[in-house]
Amino acid sequence: MPEQLIFGMEVFLNGLMAGVLYALVALGFVLIYKASGIFNYAQGVMALFSALTLVGIMEGQVPFGHLINAIFGTEIHGFGWHVPAFAAILLTMGVMILLAVIVQKCVFRHLVGQEPIILFMATIGLAYFLEGVGDIMWGSEIKKLDVGLPQGINTLIDETTFGWFGYGFFIDNLDIVATVIAALLVTALVIFAQYTKQGRAMRAVADDHQAALSVGISLNFVWVMVWSVAGFVALVAGIMWGTKSGVQFSLSLIALKALPVLMLGGFTSIPGAIVGGLIIGVGEKLFEFAIGPMVGGATENWFAYVLALIFLVFRPQGLFGEKIIERV
Amino acid sequence: MNDMNHDSYVTADGRTIGGVVMEMKNITLRFGGVVAIQDISFDIRQGEIRAIIGPNGAGKSSMLNVISGFYNPQEGDVFYHGKKRKPMRPYQVARQGIARTFQNIALFEGMSVLDNIMTGRLHQMKAGLFSQALWAGRANREEVENREAVEKIIDFLEIQSIRKTPVGRLPYGLKKRVELARALAAEPSILLLDEPMAGMNVEEKEDMSRFILDVNDEFGTTIALIEHDMGVVMDLSDRVVVMDYGKKIGDGTPDDVRNNQAVIDAYLGVAHD
């Protein structure tokens, strides 16, 4: 087998894995957009915030430590304990649910029936607010996140492929775990949305507010629930990205990569978010591999956006989105 | 409430009408300076078909929205099963057993007919999230029970053939019927119909009238409906409230109302000189 093809296959697989992580972030967007029509700009920051909180809780960091020290002249930095990863994840989930309640009670409850652009602006505000709170609460230095997920080269794949091609593929264990978790997450979300009472209520609210009210569904409850679920997805994404590249504030920028993913997949489709993520992941890796050297590299920075632009021209609703029909 | 309200009686066609289920007392509803409903009182009895009629802009829909909690009146009280009702949100009213349809149809367009009707039973489901997700125990039983109840309604309203069709694709008349089915699925103690025949042709109107009568007869459901087609209402209802410019101008049996001079004036117009 030609060497280029074998390299290409490795790049393809790595692209798939990277795509899974994009898809995880995009999934959070789709959930909120489907249920409330809000494009949540803060989804990426929510992932960052959850990762910061998780590290903070695990390390026994005192929330608002810097602030407390500055005001009271104290020198406290940690409680001196370490919380096991599993407990810390549960606690962080609690924080994300609390955040969902606060966001609904303080912001979106007062904006019911407003134009989508106003809701969008509110989420931009929320994004910067949350970033600031995360900074004051947990500090802005880059942190290492280790919840015990396996990392490093998968030797089984390395050896098997070496046996086949005489060249071992480099696949990170973390990426494999991320793929499995993403698959589980999507299955769980689909079951939740299709077969549970709460999921039915969520779909009902997404479809028609008045009708939902008339069958006894509380809009407030459903929205808090949706933001909590989005918080959970953000937490999963935060753990994956945080483990991979450290918990740092540039994490919130990965949200921007989710945008082209959504344009490809459609803003309203859960499978769309997955497929869109995979296409972007594979596309940008393969493009960099095949075309990159000819144009001086660094194509990964713009490839996704150009692809999204092309999609916008030819299929604005995305691959799986609902067709936009304007009745006049 | 006086004793008379608790007396039940039997109608000419053999249905039993019970005591008062809902009473509206001195309801006044304003939007800014506009008075939509002015000091209106009336009651709804168990098992009857109660119509609210009046010309356009009389405040009929506002009244229905007060009953279903979409509006809370500035003055006056709503008594439900003899108890004064606190100001409520629409979903709370729905959970108390008051189901409704809308003049402009509010269905979940993206869902199938079956799913739409199933949402009517959402608050009857009690099983926990995980047993639902795993399709286990109580959740399984509930789902089966709910499906049975829904299938019965589907048969009843003769919409078997469109069970799996997305509602968005249905013609207007069928959408109205699906909306009625969803409201019925909640097994309401009062069913509110906001212009159930609006925009229908004669045949569809006849069908709908038949369904309304059958629902009332078969399930004993108390029905309050709004309509401005006088003819339809007079044939359907046991008692009629007539509204005009936010005021009540008549209340009684169809025959009473038909002969009421104020009602005739409101509908035919009267010379003011």
The neighbouring-strand residues paired with B166 are B112
Domain ranges of chain A: 3-250
Q: Which of A214, A322, A325 to mutate to test the interface with B (most CBs of B within 10 A)?
A: A214
The token pair at A137 is 């609460």
Per-residue model confidence (pLDDT) at position A250: 82
B129 in contact with A at a CB cutoff of 8 Å? yes
Among all residues of chain B, which has the CA nearest to that of A210?
B106
Q: Verify whether the Cβ–Cβ distance A188 to B125 is below 8 Å.
A: no
List, in sequence order, every residue forming a beta bridge with B244; answer none if it has no partner: B247
**Fold designation for B1-85+191-196+222-273:** Rossmann fold (3.40.50)
Let me know: does B99 contact B183? Beta carbons within 8 Å.
Answer: yes
Residue in A192, A204, A216 nearest the CB of B133 = A192
Residues in chain B with pLDDT < 50? 1-4
pLDDT in tens, B10-63: 887 778 888 899 999 999 999 988 999 999 999 999 999 999 998 888 899 999
Do the Cβ atoms of A171 and A17 come closer than 8 Å? yes
| Of B41, B22, B185, the residue nearest B107 (C-alpha) | B185
Give residues 192 to 231 of A whose Cβ lies within 8 Å of B: 192, 195-198, 200-201, 203-204, 206-208, 210-219
Chain A residue at shortest CA distance from B146: A197
Question: Do residues B197 and B232 make contact, with C-beta atoms less than 8 angstroms apart?
Answer: yes
CB pair distance less than 8 Å for A200 and B109 = no
- Which residue in chain B has the smallest CA separation from A213? B91
* Rounded Cα–Cα distance for residues A204 and A208 (Å): 6
- Interface check for B100 against chain A (CB to CB < 8 A): the answer is yes
HSE-up of residue A149 (Cα within 13 Å, Cβ side) = 24
A206 to chain B, minimum CA–CA distance in Å? 9
Using an 8 Å Cβ cutoff, are A204 and B119 in contact?
yes
Give me the total of CB pairs closer than 8 Å, taking one residue from chain A and one from chain B.
82
Please state, in angstroms and rounded to a whole number, the distance separating the CA atoms of residues B30 and B142: 43
Nearest CA-CA distance, residue B14 and chain A, Å: 32
Distance, CA of A157 to CA of A10 (rounded, Å): 11
Q: What is the pLDDT of residue A257?
A: 82
Chain A residue nearest residue B132, CA to CA: A196
User: Is A191 within 8 Å of B110 when comparing Cβ atoms?
Assistant: no
Query: Residue B34 has which token pair?
Result: 């506009």
Ranges of chain A whose pLDDT falls below 50: none
Q: What is the pLDDT of residue A228?
A: 93
B114 touching chain A per CB within 8 A:
no
Q: Which residues contact B37 (CB under 8 A, 6 or more apart)?
A: B27, B28, B29, B59, B62, B63, B66, B73, B243, B246
**pTM for the whole structure:** 0.82
- Verify whether the Cβ–Cβ distance B129 to A198 is below 8 Å: yes
User: Which residue from A241, A271, A284, A257 is spatially nearest to A12, judged by alpha carbons?
Assistant: A284
pLDDT for B136 equals 66
pLDDT for B6: 58
Name the H helices within chain A: 3-36, 43-59, 65-72, 85-106, 116-138, 155-165, 173-195, 197-207, 209-214, 219-245, 254-265, 270-290, 292-295, 303-314
- What are the counts of helices (DSSP H) followed by strands (DSSP E) for chain B? 10, 12
d(CA B103, CA A141): 58
* Tokens describing residue B80: 């439900």
Query: CB count, 10 Å around CB of A81?
Result: 8
Chain B positions touching A200 (Cβ under 8 A) are 115, 118-119, 122
